[in-house]
Structure 1
Amino acid sequence: MVRPELDDRVILNAVLFGHGSHEAAWRSPGMPATAPLELSHWLECARVAEATGFDGLFLGDILCLQDRPEHHPPETLDPLMVLAALAGATQRLRLTGTASTSFNHPYHLARRLLTLSHLSGGRAGWNIVTSSYPQEAALFGWDAMPPTAERYARAEEVVSAVKALWSSWDGVARQADKDSGRWLSTAPPEVQLSGRFGRIDGALNLSPAPYGRPLLAQAGSSPEGMRFAARHADQVFTVQSEIEGAKAFRREIHRLAKEAGRSPEEICVLPGLVPFVAETRGEAEAQLEALTERVGMDHILRKLERFTGLSLAGHDPDTPLPFETGALRGNDFSNSRAHLLIDHAQREGLTLRQLAARFAAGRGHLLVVGTGRDVAERMREWVDAGAADGFNVMAPLLPSGLQSFAVQVMPHLRR
């Protein structure tokens, strides 16, 4: 399948968050409550995304039950297994799945990602995360989640080891010659490595050939995360809601890439985009309002507390937010996003209830509510200004949000 002709500058990934990116998506009328536990849901999302002209699928992951699991869908499938199932149902989409460097051994990561690469004909991608929930640490026998700097130091060792396992096959040809009885031109050399993950002493039992290594993506916006991305990432998934901040982030990624000996052109910066789109702005606003009314305030405030590290108990939800970014303490869970959310609330004069609704809709990502032309023009504005190389599109409802994007937005992006 050939990608429909779009502006060549714009890279589009469809981010598949279960029922959709909105916290209340699962409660939307007509949405099957258990849809993300069924293969048919993912197949439909993938087919719509490919037919629409997206470049790839992007699946996140968290290795624990999130807060208040009795009030919000906490069950998630392994993203790499989902993508393996989608490989045979798609022809062109890049299939990028999340896997943690904190709780996976490099050998397992190297092999699982190459397995997806072979099953998809070279379309595999790895979204590298360090994990941040304290529940994840407890599940794997850690007393606490290490500080950000330590998690990224471990990630550096793990990713370097994965790359070493892949590159150890350089120069080894797969001959698969039945007549001579020779499978390889030579045996791949053994790799000897040690680090926080333990030891590796041997060879990976799968070659990247003929596809090369999988795409590497990364989503951290802390100083450590940005330096890590500049060294390793092909795509950077970032949370940005203001164009000037997005431009500054992309400039810094490019500066750090040069510092790391890479060309800035090797890295694509893709802000998250949450589009509520309809034929009229009023209809789009009504869609957002309908979902906002279904948000459980207790649930979303608990989640907002975890993201910001602030105690929100006892505050009148209908008065201006009483905090400034100076009130934020060190928060190893999501420090960069916490500052972004509080900064946005202060600039817009949001109440706690309004901030909670904004967080439920997009978790700090760029939220655009309007017609297809409105969404397309905002996207072009960011690309033209040097704020983005494309977008990770986070449809609020799945798969209907992808279908709306196809009908309303894509015609305005095509040339």
Structure 2
Amino acid sequence: MAGPRTLHLNAFLYGVGHHSSAWRHPDSAAERLGDIAYFEELARTAERGCLDAVFFADGHSVNPKYTAGTTWFLEPLTALSAMARATERIGLVTTVSASFFTPFHAARMLASLDHISGGRVGANIVTSMFDEEARSHGFDSLPPHAERYARAEEFIEVLCALWDSWDGGVLVDRTGGRFLDSDAIRPIHHRGKHFRVDGPLTVPRCPQGRPVLFQAGASETGRNLAARHAEAVYSVAWDMTAAIEYATDLRARVAAAGRDPGTVAILPGLVTYVGRTEEEAWAKKAELDALLDVDAAVTQLGVFTGQDYTGHDLDAPVADLPPIEEFTGPQGRYATVQRIIETRRPTLRELLGYLAAGGGHATMIGTPESVADSIEEWFTAGACDGFNLMCPAYPDSLDDFVDLVVPELQRRGLFRTEYPGSTLRDSLGLKSI
């Protein structure tokens, strides 16, 4: 009989924190972004808190004119290989672009990392966003949205076929002189619109069968791709209402695809500022917000909303935005800013601070008990199956969550006190494939 439903928690590792000005803090680790020991320390902290996984996003371009914030540094699969040796149970999830990788290349690297880590790997399959990234890979621009997702669909199918091309296969029969069982290894002979792959993979079957597939698409096409293939989904929701709408929609799509919605973990991003008192928590946020490049942030807010805030008093409330139907730019970010204004009634300074850390993901500020109250409310309402933690400042914000919030969640029976097994599939309650 299955035990009670419990939370899933990932730590989204990003530079020295998700607050865009965290690197400017005098105690930040900004000089250590190329030091793998720094990321190993973060992974061990997450593992100490029994978190399911650490997660790296990825990008394939850099704007050298943007000097006010940190950028990409270590390639994620390389970094995770080192982090696998520094940890024992924590999952290791990396972003893989279906637009730039070939399935064989990705399958081989991910399977290798799964062996290195003893079965702890997950892959967040994305289609990438920027033409600058495409120009790093020999293209003039990204293909249209629909074409990218069609390629991603085929990419996932080939990826899984390659992982399944071995049924065991390694005999090591010294007496009989056979290292391989040829009957357990088979080509896949894939012929599709985007890929031609004979196979089999050059890496034997993964310890957990296949790495866990994650997805983060918010569009109609992205949600349908997630419904068909994802085993966990990273989502964006500023408040519980938006989270419930997304979770309800995605679970219906998963069911329509013939899959059990209970086997797909929905994990919205979550920014937390935690203090032993409410005042301490808000002071931590204010300390980071004070480092923000206000002029750049105001300009960016204007792009998001189509409004001119250059003459707006930073400490005066922000007025409601016009109806979203009147905005011709990207709808998602506009809707998020609109929700923040309607639910928090922030001053301009406060709004810029919310957007600086997480860009509109759920934000919880307070004591361990009050943050745990909010997490429990979302979880029991069915708004999510857990969260993808987007700590404003590493390592301090992750230490705060692990040392203060996790024990409170454990006390309430909402989160594990030890790992249930050795693989990421074990931690997520998924069957080996």
Alpha-carbon distance change, 195 to 321 in structure 1, aligned in 2, over 3 angstroms: farther
> How far apart, CA to CA, are the structure 1 residues paired with 2:295 and 2:196?
45
> How far apart, CA to CA, are the structure 1 residues paired with 2:187 and 2:369?
55
State the partner residue of 2:170: 174
- Residue range with higher mean Cα deviation, 28-37 or 44-53: 28-37
Any idea what SS the aligned residue of 2:33 has? Answer: helix
102, 107, 118: which one aligns with 1:105: 102
CA contact (8 A) 1:274 1:395 kept: yes
State the partner residue of 2:325: 326
Letter in 2 for 1:275: T
Structural mapping, 1:368-383, within 5 Å: 368-383=364-379
The count of corresponding residues between Structure 1 and Structure 2 is: 404
Runs of 4 or more above 4 Å deviation: 301-306, 310-315, 346-353
Deviation at 1:8, TM superposition (A): 5.2
Any idea what SS the aligned residue of 1:140 has? Answer: coil
1:403 maps onto 2:413 in alignment: no
Structural mapping, 1:244-255, within 5 Å: 244-255=241-252
TM-superposition CA deviations, 1:340-385 (whole Å, max 9, x none): 2333334544455443221102211110110011111111111111
Letter in 2 for 1:20: G
- Residue range with higher mean Cα deviation, 336-345 or 91-100: 336-345
Deviation at 1:144, TM superposition (A): 2.7
1:358 maps onto 2:357 in alignment: no
Alpha-carbon distance change, 414 to 46 in structure 1, aligned in 2, over 3 angstroms: same
State the partner residue of 1:261: 258
128, 149, 154: which one aligns with 2:125: 128
Deviation at 1:222, TM superposition (A): 1.2
> How far apart, CA to CA, are the structure 2 residues paired with 1:266 and 1:202?
29
For the aligned residue pairs, the C-alpha RMSD in angstroms reads 2.2
CA contact (8 A) 2:47 2:90 kept: yes
CA contact (8 A) 2:58 2:72 kept: no
> How far apart, CA to CA, are the structure 1 residues paired with 2:239 and 2:270?
12
268, 271, 274: which one aligns with 1:271: 268
Deviation at 1:125, TM superposition (A): 0.5
1:62 maps onto 2:59 in alignment: yes
Alpha-carbon distance change, 251 to 67 in structure 1, aligned in 2, over 3 angstroms: farther
CA contact (8 A) 1:328 1:339 kept: no
- Residue range with higher mean Cα deviation, 400-409 or 118-127: 400-409
204, 211, 216: which one aligns with 1:214: 211
Deviation at 1:63, TM superposition (A): 1.2
> How far apart, CA to CA, are the structure 2 residues paired with 1:296 and 1:194?
51
> How far apart, CA to CA, are the structure 2 residues paired with 1:348 and 1:148?
34
TM-superposition CA deviations, 1:185-211 (whole Å, max 9, x none): 225222222445442233211122442
1:84 maps onto 2:88 in alignment: no
> How far apart, CA to CA, are the structure 1 residues paired with 2:87 and 2:59?
25
CA contact (8 A) 1:321 1:350 kept: no
State the partner residue of 1:165: 162
Any idea what SS the aligned residue of 1:261 has? Answer: coil
Alpha-carbon distance change, 209 to 96 in structure 1, aligned in 2, over 3 angstroms: closer
Any idea what SS the aligned residue of 2:268 has? Answer: strand
Q: Which runs of 5+ in 2 are unaligned?
A: 412-433
Alpha-carbon distance change, 350 to 36 in structure 1, aligned in 2, over 3 angstroms: same
State the partner residue of 1:336: 332
State the partner residue of 2:341: 345
TM-score, normalising length: structure 2: 0.87
Any idea what SS the aligned residue of 2:370 has? Answer: helix
Letter in 2 for 1:257: V
8, 11, 28: which one aligns with 2:25: 28
TM-superposition CA deviations, 1:251-289 (whole Å, max 9, x none): 111110111111111101011111100111111111111
% of aligned pairs identical? 37
State the partner residue of 2:427: none
CA contact (8 A) 1:67 1:302 kept: no
Structural mapping, 1:31-50, within 5 Å: 31-50=28-47
TM-superposition CA deviations, 1:141-173 (whole Å, max 9, x none): 33333333222111111111111111222x353
Any idea what SS the aligned residue of 1:236 has? Answer: strand
Any idea what SS the aligned residue of 1:96 has? Answer: strand
State the partner residue of 2:311: 316
